[in-house]
Structure 1
Amino acid sequence: MTQESLPGNRIRVWHRPMRPRDSAERHRVATPLELLFDLCFVVAVGQAASNLHHQLAEGHVGHGVAGFALVFFAIWWGWLNFSWFASAFDTDDVPYRLATLVQIAGGLTVAAGVGKGFDGDFHVMVIGYVLMRLAMVTQWLRAARTAPECRPSALRYAAGITLCQILWVVWLAASGATQIALFLVVAAIELAVPLLAERRAGAPWHPHHIAERYGLFTLIVLGETVLSATTAVQESVTEGKHIGELVGLAAAGLVLVFAMWWLYFDQPGHARLVHRPSLLTTMSWGYGHYLIFASAAAVGAGLELAVDFDTHHTELNGTVVALFVTVPVALFLLSVWLLHIGPTNECRPIAIGFPVAAVLVLAASFGPAPIHVTAVLAAALVAVTVIATHGEPRLA
């Protein structure tokens, strides 16, 4: 350990062994460095949602949705790997901070390449992604060197991540349907790395810390949704037209996002993690949040598209526009239901209420004022949860 004396008898630790954190540590919260990491990823999430909106507005539905799914995977997977590693091995010394800086640089490079990615050119994104992931390899190798009890798992992580980065570079040479198929293969290998690395003795992640990290990223995505919709309304209001429709849409969007926030955070996110469930259950919870994050981001793009429809800036019909809001909202509700509530939850009104609300939201797509009705349905589900639980969380 290298130290330097500072004024006031303070000691700054420049370098220390990367030892596992205590998985039962009390009052474990997100660090300022983790919050900065999240803040930088706001840029990438915003770029993904903005480009999805533009693709949909231009009528490139299939291309836009496929591009969004690919781009968001890179954003989500880079964030997820950093968060779980930091939950287990956050030493917060100089080498750790510098490695995190490289990961942030990689994330921002990914964000810079999002627009080209939607156009089918993934070179910039892959450069940023590989940079971000290779920085994580150095972290795992450092953990393997200084934490003997985690060495086998850490080495498996380092080897698996390195292999995947080689495959992503190879993937750039593919095109068309072959590129899509190869993406699915390499993404599946990426998803399998933690399962293989943790199959025996894995990293000692902290359940409350992980739940907080996921909650913070959910807030980031919901915040981007609010920003996207607000910007779209602001641009339209400057034209001085359709004020009534836009005010109503803005109100509905605000109620909808607030309801999504309420429903996600109403039940404790750590409930399924705190008792150290099976690896498959843990990974299902962690991976399943891809649907929560992506659907929340897509709602923002859908609300922007709804503004375009009300101001006659898109040729898409009303039902199609509505579906780009209602489908991600329904997906969000079902994902929260499966990951936080559970079909067997002892509180039957909320166990049944979430899937019923999702079905009604989809049905609202084909009626009048679909986004307003969706907001009312989401608010009604909030009311059901409050009344049924008397304001107290009910664990699955």
Structure 2
Amino acid sequence: MAFAAASDQLAEHLAAGTIWPAIGAFVFAVWAVSWAWLNYSWFASAYGNDDLLIRATTIVPMIGVVVLVYGLPVSFDTAARGESPNNLLMVVGYVIMRVPLIALWLRAANQDPEHRRNALSYVAIISAAQVGWVLTAVLPLPATATVLLIVVLALGEMVAPAIATRRYGYSPWNAGHLAERFGLLTLITIGEVIAGTVAAVGALTQEKGWSPEAVLIIASGVLIATAVWWTYFLVPSRLVLEARPERTFSWRYAHLALFGSIAATGAGLHLYLSFFLR
């Protein structure tokens, strides 16, 4: 849902000519959703026991995604006006997605003494980051300063876990579980490209009826989605992670660009459609 919403906003603003602000807002949105999901999957790979707390903290981030999605139109509109793509609604949604992990890592620290320092490092990193994100939304900073702070916070959230892991060791993650979870979100993102294609063709046929352009759009969407799915699952991720665990972080972070690229494909199809509706 969030990827599809960001994709729609990207296509709309690219069609309006606000190219770089739209791309910036899109990257910000995709990063926020992907990073929150990636970190939950990392925790669940190590400590997901499917009890009440795990299930509750799975539902809460879903609520956060919904809140964040409602902030996306504001984010793209303000970026188009040369202002920061950040807004309080997006930040609240992001914080809702991230805060449950603090409780989960605290429980892991209590129940797994061997990896306590690693778990507590995640508690500190997530807590400090959320304070920073709230400050970006409430402080009356100039747009440039806010954007710079956003970039610093995002980079900090990605770099700090790698540093902490090098110092305190890995949590007991599972390669098979990670490969499955990341593959599932890849499939979901590809599904949103298909859904976007269907919506685009539906709008086109309602306006002008079936045409060669409509057939081209739907064929392109299906072909691109199939190619991405085929290519992604050619790589035996579980085997790679088991054989080269030191590459886990680079493998995880590469998915940030992957999810954004797949979602941007849907935006391209919508943009292509807009030229035929004019």
Q: Quick check: TM above 0.5?
A: yes
The offset of 1:251, in angstroms, is 1.4
Q: Give 1:193's match in structure 2, choosing from 157, 160, 173.
A: 160
**1:263 maps onto 2:231 in alignment:** yes
Partner Cα distance (1:267, 1:202) in 2: 24
Look up the equivalent residue of 1:196 and give its one-letter code.
Answer: I
Find runs of 4+ consecutive structure 1 residues off by over 4 angstroms. none
Q: What do the CA deviations read for 1:239-261 (whole angstroms, capped 9, x no partner)?
A: 23561222123212221221111
Q: What do the CA deviations read for 1:181-214 (whole angstroms, capped 9, x no partner)?
A: 1111111110023213312322111111111111
Q: What do the CA deviations read for 1:11-58 (whole angstroms, capped 9, x no partner)?
A: xxxxxxxxxxxxxxxxxxxxxxxxxxxxxxxx2111111111111111
Q: State the match for 2:151 in structure 1.
A: 184
Partner Cα distance (2:112, 2:237) in 1: 29
Q: Does the CA-based 8 Å contact 1:78-1:107 persist in structure 2? A: no
- The 5 A counterparts of 1:1-396 are 43-120=1-78, 121-172=86-137, 173=139, 174-199=141-166, 200-241=168-209, 243-278=211-246, 281-309=247-275, 311-313=276-278
Partner Cα distance (1:264, 1:276) in 2: 18
Q: Secondary structure at the match of 1:239?
A: helix
Gaps of 5+ in 2: 79-85
The offset of 1:84, in angstroms, is 0.7
Q: Does the CA-based 8 Å contact 2:197-2:217 persist in structure 1? A: no
Larger radius of gyration: 1
**TM-score of the aligned structures, taking structure 1 as reference length:** 0.65
**TM-score of the aligned structures, taking structure 2 as reference length:** 0.92
Partner Cα distance (2:91, 2:221) in 1: 34
Q: Percent identity?
A: 38
- Seen in structure 2, the aligned counterparts of structure 1 residues 237 and 179 have a Cα distance that, compared at 3 Å, is same
Partner Cα distance (1:312, 1:44) in 2: 25
Q: What do the CA deviations read for 1:312-344 (whole angstroms, capped 9, x no partner)?
A: 42xxxxxxxxxxxxxxxxxxxxxxxxxxxxxxx
Higher relative contact order (CA 8 A, sep 6+): 2
Gaps of 5+ in 1: 1-42, 314-396
* Number of equivalences: 268
Partner Cα distance (1:215, 1:159) in 2: 29
Q: Does the CA-based 8 Å contact 2:204-2:277 persist in structure 1? A: no
Q: What do the CA deviations read for 1:45-84 (whole angstroms, capped 9, x no partner)?
A: 1111111111111111111101000111110001001111
